[in-house]
């Protein structure tokens, strides 16, 4: 690959609409990112047939046959043992072999995380990578992690999530001095579990140039109180899905309000262009693409049920992470967190 090219490996068989959604999504990404090249992994005949409709995309793509497909119902351990030649596995391998800069899959989340960890390894000092996502807020955008990859987290893991999220916000979201909060059920220092309180103490005492805000509550997420929300995967998943469900409920309410009378129908027609903008802002596809932070390589998980527009956005997340060189920056920041965690005399001796 040439120096200016960014190569993205795509698991063409992952997700509900594979491989069509993947191919059509890549075609949107191709227009957005002219530097991008694509490696498709999966059933060769199906991919080639799909690409036939998109000549320009075909000209910047390579196709790599994979016999097996990891099913959504496969356990991670099955995916590891029994699906050696799967499309997901080979796509990740391409990143490990430096043939691609990043990988995007809409397949089995647990398998993608397990394969990424084993194949690409984690960044130095990271025990457990996190799954993060950009989330919409009243102020703009924030990043939240973990979203479900790690149900139980110790305080060190939570502190690492906070640091990785901060590096992401600074480099990908372009926030100069991102503020960081730990998700809790109250903002007072004594609230929440021992683990969360220890994580807060670690971040406060880290000496890192991080603007640690302290605890935030779940309504602070959409309020944009902080740029980075760090949490364990259980709470993060609950917060994210509760927000998704509420957005759908609100949309239902709005629809039924407009249907209520002749006047409200007319009002809808007049406001339609503006409401289209609203629809775009609450469209979950706009925020599709969860990044695995802490893996030694760029891995992005697309929602399995998204369409080509959503998949293109997930490719965009991978592009941003590659072009901003996110991982070396995380390594640098984390090494400073470790230094800060050492007792005073040792630190002086280094």
CA distance 200 to 215: 8
Question: x-or-dash pattern for a second copy, window 157-196, by CB under 8 A?
Answer: --------------------------x-xx-----xx---
Residue 239 found at the interface with a second copy (CB under 8 A): yes
Residue 74 found at the interface with a second copy (CB under 8 A): no
| 50 vs 107 by CB, closer to a second copy | 107
CA distance 312 to 301: 12
- CB-CB contact of 42 with 66 (8 Å): yes
Residues 263-292 touching a second copy, rule: CB under 8 A, are 263-264, 266-275, 277-278, 281-282
Residue 223 found at the interface with a second copy (CB under 8 A): yes
- Extract the tokens encoding 101: 């800069």
Residue 52 found at the interface with a second copy (CB under 8 A): no
| 32 vs 139 by CB, closer to a second copy | 139
Least Cβ distance, residue 161 to a second copy (angstroms) = 16
- CB-CB contact of 45 with 329 (8 Å): no
| 240 vs 326 by CB, closer to a second copy | 240
Residues 92-151 touching a second copy, rule: CB under 8 A, are 136-138, 148, 151
Least Cβ distance, residue 346 to a second copy (angstroms) = 35
Half-sphere exposure of 324 (CA within 13 A, CB side): 19
Name which of 73, 53, 72 is nearest 14 in CA terms.
72
Least Cβ distance, residue 152 to a second copy (angstroms) = 8
CA distance 36 to 50: 19
| 53 vs 255 by CB, closer to a second copy | 255
Residue carrying the six token digits 């059933």: 43
| 52 vs 266 by CB, closer to a second copy | 266
Residue 152 found at the interface with a second copy (CB under 8 A): yes
> What sign does the dihedral 180-138-25-72 (CA atoms) show?
positive
- Extract the tokens encoding 265: 């129908």
Cβ atoms within 10 Å of 22's Cβ, excluding its own? 32
> What sign does the dihedral 182-329-227-222 (CA atoms) show?
negative
Which of 53, 98, 241, 347 touches a second copy by CB under 8 A? Answer: 241
Question: x-or-dash pattern for a second copy, window 242-261, by CB under 8 A?
Answer: xxxxxxxxx-xxx--xx-xx
CA distance 340 to 218: 29
DSSP secondary structure string for all residues of 9-72 = EEETT-STTTTHHHHHHHHHHHHH-TTEEEEEEE-HHHHHHHHTT-HHHHHTEEEEE-SB---T
| 190 vs 349 by CB, closer to a second copy | 190
| 84 vs 251 by CB, closer to a second copy | 251
Helix, strand, coil shares of the chain, percent, nearest 5, are: 50, 15, 30
Report the C-alpha dihedral over residues 102, 108, 113, 115, rounded to 10 degrees: -80
Least Cβ distance, residue 191 to a second copy (angstroms) = 9
Residue 77 found at the interface with a second copy (CB under 8 A): no
Least Cβ distance, residue 278 to a second copy (angstroms) = 4
| 46 vs 223 by CB, closer to a second copy | 223
Least Cβ distance, residue 136 to a second copy (angstroms) = 7
Name the site residues for a second copy (rule: CB under 8 A): 136-138, 148, 151-152, 183, 185-186, 192-193, 217-223, 233-235, 237-250, 252-254, 257-258, 260-261, 263-264, 266-275, 277-278, 281-282
């Amino acid at each position: 690959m040439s120096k200016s090219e960014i190569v993205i490996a795509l698991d063409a068989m992952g997700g509900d609409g594979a491989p069509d959604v993947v191919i059509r999504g890549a075609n949107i990404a191709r227009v957005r990112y002219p530097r991008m090249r694509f490696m498709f992994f999966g059933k060769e005949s199906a991919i080639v047939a799909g690409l036939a409709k998109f000549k320009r995309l075909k000209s910047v793509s390579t196709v790599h046959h994979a016999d097996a497909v990891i099913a959504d119902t496969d356990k991670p351990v099955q995916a590891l043992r029994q699906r050696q030649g799967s499309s997901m596995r080979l796509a990740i391998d391409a990143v490990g072999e430096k043939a691609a800069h990043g990988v995007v899959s809409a397949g089995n989340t647990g398998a993608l995380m397990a394969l990424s960890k084993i194949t690409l390894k984690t960044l130095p000092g990271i025990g457990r990578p996190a799954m993060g996502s950009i989330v919409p807020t009243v102020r703009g955008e924030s990043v939240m992690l973990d979203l479900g990859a790690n149900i139980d987290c110790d305080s060190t893991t939570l502190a690492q999530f906070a640091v990785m999220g901060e590096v992401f916000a600074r480099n990908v979201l372009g926030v100069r001095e991102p503020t960081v909060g730990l998700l809790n059920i109250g903002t007072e220092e004594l609230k929440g579990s021992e683990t969360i309180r220890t994580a807060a103490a670690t971040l406060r005492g880290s000496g890192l140039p991080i603007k640690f805000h302290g605890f935030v509550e779940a309504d602070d997420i959409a309020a944009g109180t902080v740029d980075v929300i760090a949490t364990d995967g259980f709470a993060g998943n609950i917060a994210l899905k509760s927000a998704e469900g509420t957005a759908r409920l609100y949309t239902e309410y709005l629809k039924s309000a407009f249907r209520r009378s002749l006047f409200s129908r007319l009002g809808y027609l007049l406001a339609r262009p503006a409401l289209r903008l609203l629809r775009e802002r609450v469209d979950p596809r706009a925020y599709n693409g969860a990044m695995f932070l802490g893996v030694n390589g760029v891995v992005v998980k697309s929602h399995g049920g998204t369409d080509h527009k959503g998949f293109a956005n997930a490719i965009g997340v991978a592009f941003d992470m590659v072009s901003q060189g996110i991982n070396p920056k995380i390594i640098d920041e984390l090494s400073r967190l470790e230094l800060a965690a050492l007792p005073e005399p040792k630190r002086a001796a280094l």
